[in-house]
Structure 1
Amino acid sequence: MSFNTRESLYNDETINKFMNLIVKRGEGNIYAFDSFFIPSIKRRGIDIINAKFKHDVFSKNLLMAPLNINNNHWIIAIVDVSQKEIIVYDSLDCHNGKEVKILQYFLCEHKHTKYGTSSPWFLFRGETTNQENEYDCGPWILAIADRYSSGQPPMPNQKLMAGIRKEHE
């Protein structure tokens, strides 16, 4: 899929494919929820999804959850498993956290189901500059995921977006 116009939007398929590349590069240390994970919990219920979820996410170092908010804005939650921290990056700084709280609740419930114990997961807002348009949230979260998974600070800014979009072609 090519993104030759600056206004073209990144869809679930694009985001999920890129996240899968990050997981492959992570050599077993990274897990990425696909973008349909939280909507499926909302639609089917956490108990059903939790019972069917077979991945051992707690053996990973890093979890990533791209979240499509109201089908018009992407944010990403980065989970540091060892620290039990969920860091949310929102390039418009406009999300109220409903989907992230579902992810937080899932992690608590899944740990209880898998190990018989649970512990709190702490939410933090990740520091990032804000995008200056209405269409760069997709490449923005991919840049954050890419940099974070490589051990670099997740600091994209608007001036870098044209180059990031070009890399994704």
Structure 2
Amino acid sequence: MAGYTNKFFKYWYNSSTIEDYLTILTNENPTSHFFSVDFLKKYCEEGFKGTVRWVKKPILDMNSILFPINVGNHWIIIVVYLKSKAVVCYDGKHRNHQHILSKIKTFLTDWENHSGVQPSAWWTLHGTTPTQYNNDDCGPWILAIAKCVALVEPICFTEKDIPQLRLQQYQSIMSNTMQLTTPTPRTTPYITMQLTTPPPKTTPINTTQSDTPPPRTIQLNEIQSTTTATTDEVTTQIPPTITAITPAPTIPHPTNSTENHKTRNKLYVSKNTKRRNRRTFYKTISNTHPTT
């Protein structure tokens, strides 16, 4: 923002500043339209076919068309009044720019032929403006003129009003810049959930009529008939069902199985037994036949 302050109060206006303010001005006043700073240069280089795509609005239905042009580091503005068919040049230095007026007049004739409209008799002139005595205020000067043209007001400011005009133009551009750069806050809608719980079932209490029958007196003969009827009835009892539980077959553990074991012979003698028997035999022989 400090850079913008220096630009608005100390230095010249560049093309982006001029176009930013004219964009705001024409948006607020749709009956006016402006062309880019480079439009006339593009028209002189490429002709009508190279600039026809730049025209995106029905300019012949407007009240005024604005052409900001920089001539030798000096800003001027050309205003086309559609109703009076006049092409007017506004310059604070009061210089002659007839060659520029002729080019814009040629463009308007080409556009009328392109739109299928009978060409008009355009006439050109230099408008009356306050005199600019310094070389620094041409930018705010043409913007102040553009505002008077868009609002259809007389051009009656002076050089003393330039500081106040700079401030107004600065505030307009900065307020529009803040609106464009400020993001819209995201709002998360509240989700309302309606819990549909069925109402509890309640039995209405009838206070007028009772469902229970009134007590009645039982006669002796009714008791006797009921007793005989119950004794005559045969009550059959269904025996309870008994489910037999069969145990699961027992499978011997592989270590306890005798399939892999070899059955020993009854006459089997172990090696130790044979060794003891052999020693005993040798001792017996040595005792019976002693050596001499």
Structure 2 length-normalised TM? 0.54
Determine the structure 2 residue equivalent to 1:141: 142
Question: Aligned partners of 2:142 and 2:118: how far apart in 1?
Answer: 32
User: In the aligned structure 2, how far is the partner of 1:96 from the partner of 1:40?
Assistant: 18
Structure 2, gaps ≥5 residues long: 171-292
Structure 1, unaligned stretches of length 5 or more?
none
Deviation at residue 51 of structure 1 after TM alignment: 6.5
Tell me which residue corresponds to 2:77: 76
Whether the aligned pair in 1 keeps the contact of 2:42 and 2:50 (CA below 8 Å) is no
Q: Greater strand percent: which structure?
A: 1
User: Which residue, out of 37, 40, 54, partners 1:38?
Assistant: 40
Asked if 1:21 is matched to 2:24, the reply is yes
* 1:105 CA drift (Å): 0.8
Equivalent in the alignment of 1:129: 130
Q: Is 1:106 the equivalent of 2:119?
A: no
CA 1:50–1:10 in 2, change beyond 3 Å: closer, same or farther? same
Find the aligned partners of 2:78 and 2:89 in 1 and give their Cα distance.
Answer: 4
Identity of matched residues, %: 25
Q: Deviation of residue 39 (structure 1)?
A: 1.1
The superposition leaves residues 57-96 of structure 1 with CA deviations (integer Å, 9 ceiling, x where unpaired) of: 00111111111113x0111111110111111100011243
2:175 aligns with: none
TM-score (norm: length of structure 1):
0.90
Q: Match of 1:63?
A: 65
In structure 2, the residue matched to 1:96 is 97
Larger radius of gyration: 2
- Alpha-carbon distance in 1 for matches of 2:118, 2:110: 9
Shift of 1:52: 6.0
Paired residues in the alignment total 167
Contact 1:145 1:154 in 2 (8 A): no
Mark the CA change 1:20 to 1:52 in structure 2 (over 3 Å): closer, same or farther. Answer: closer
Is the 2:69–2:75 Cα contact (8 Å) retained in structure 1? yes
The SS at the match of 1:2 is helix
**In structure 1, C-alpha distance between the alignment counterparts of 2:5 and 2:48, rounded to whole Å:** 35
**Partners of 1:98 and 1:125 in 2: how far apart?**
12
Distance 1:44 1:156 in 2: 38
Residue 9 of structure 1 is matched in structure 2 by: 12
Contact 1:87 1:126 (C-alpha < 8 Å) held by counterparts: yes
Go from structure 1 to structure 2 and tell me whether the alpha carbon gap of 1:115 and 1:3 turns closer, same or farther (over 3 Å shift): farther
Aligned pairs for 1:41-52 (under 5 A) are 41-50=43-52
Write the distance in 2 (CA, Å) between the matches of 1:158 and 1:48: 39
Q: Where in structure 1 do 4 or more consecutive aligned residues deviate above 6 Å?
A: none
The offset of 1:148, in angstroms, is: 1.7
In the TM superposition, what whole-angstrom CA distance separates every residue of 1:5-44 from its partner, at most 9, and x where no partner exists?
Answer: 6440111111011111111111x31111111110111222
Q: Spell out, residue by residue over 1:109-149, the C-alpha distance to the aligned partner (whole angstroms, 9 max, x if none).
A: 11111124211211121111211101111100000011121
AA aligned to 1:9 is W
Quote how far apart the aligned CAs of 1:157 are: 1.4
Asked if structure 1 preserves the Cα contact closer than 8 Å seen for 2:87 and 2:122, the reply is yes
Distance 1:96 1:62, change over 3 A: closer
**1:156 Cα deviation (Å)?**
2.5
Matched AA of 2:157: P
SS at match of 2:17: helix
Other structure's SS at 1:9 match: coil
Q: For 1:64 and 1:157, locate their aligned partners in 2 and report how far apart those are by CA, in whole Å.
A: 21
